[in-house]
Chain A
Amino acid sequence: MSMYLKLMNKYRYVSIGLTALFTFHVIADDDRTAEPLKIHGFIAQGIIDVSDSDFVNDDGKFSTELTEIGLNTSYQLSEDFRFAAQAVYLNGGNRYNEGLRVDYFLIDWDAYSSEQWQANLFVGRFKSPHWLHSSTRDIPFERPSIILPQGLYFDGFRDIAVGGDGAALKLTYNNDEFGEFDFNFSRGKSSITNDDAEVILSELAQGDIENELDSQASVYWRPVFSQWRFGLTLLDSEFTYNGETLDFFVDGRFQFQNYTVNAVYEGEKWEFTSEFLQTRFLTEGFYIPQFHQDNLGQGGYFQARYKVDQQLTLIGRYEEFYADKDDRNGYELEKRSYGAVPNYFGFQHDAMLGFSYDFSNNLQVNAEYHWMQGTARLNPIVLPNPTLNKEHWKVWAIQLMYWF
Chain B
Amino acid sequence: MVSVMLIGSPVTHAIDVITNITADTASITTAQLRRIYSMRQVKWANGVPITVFVLSSNNLIHQKFCKETLRLFPYQLDSIWNKLTFSGMGIAPTPVNNMDELIKAVKSTTGAIGYIENINEVSDVNVLKIDE
Binding site for B on A (CB under 8 A): 31-34, 38, 40, 42, 70, 72, 74, 76, 79, 82, 84-86, 103-104, 106, 108, 110, 113-115, 118, 120, 122, 126-127, 129, 135-136, 139, 141-142, 170, 172, 174, 176, 180, 224-225, 266-268, 307, 310, 361
A-chain residues with CB within 8 Å of residue B82 when the two chains form the complex: 136, 139, 141-142
Q: Is the CB of B86 within 8 A of A40?
A: yes
Nearest-neighbor residue (CB-CB) of A86 within chain B: B88
Q: Is the CB of B86 within 8 A of A33?
A: no
Tell me, in angstroms, the Cα distance from A127 to B32 when the chains sit together: 28
Contact of A79 among B49, B75, B83 (CB under 8 A): B49
Q: Is the CB of A115 within 8 A of B88?
A: no
Contact of A127 among B29, B53, B88 (CB under 8 A): B88
Binding site for A on B (CB under 8 A): 29, 31-32, 35, 40-43, 45, 49, 51, 53, 56-58, 71, 73, 75-76, 79, 82-83, 85-91, 94-97, 101, 105, 109, 112
B-chain residues with CB within 8 Å of residue A310 when the two chains form the complex: 58
Tell me, in angstroms, the Cα distance from A76 to B91 when the chains sit together: 10
A-chain residues with CB within 8 Å of residue B79 when the two chains form the complex: 142
Q: Is the CB of A108 within 8 A of B35?
A: no
A-chain residues with CB within 8 Å of residue B94 when the two chains form the complex: 31-34
Give the residue among B45, B49, B101 with the most A Cβ atoms within 10 A.
B49
Q: Is the CB of B73 within 8 A of A136?
A: no
Nearest-neighbor residue (CB-CB) of B71 within chain A: A225
Q: Is the CB of A180 within 8 A of B86?
A: no
Tell me, in angstroms, the Cα distance from A74 to B91 when the chains sit together: 8
B-chain residues with CB within 8 Å of residue A135 when the two chains form the complex: 83, 86-87, 89
Q: Is the CB of A110 within 8 A of B96?
A: no
B-chain residues with CB within 8 Å of residue A85 when the two chains form the complex: 88
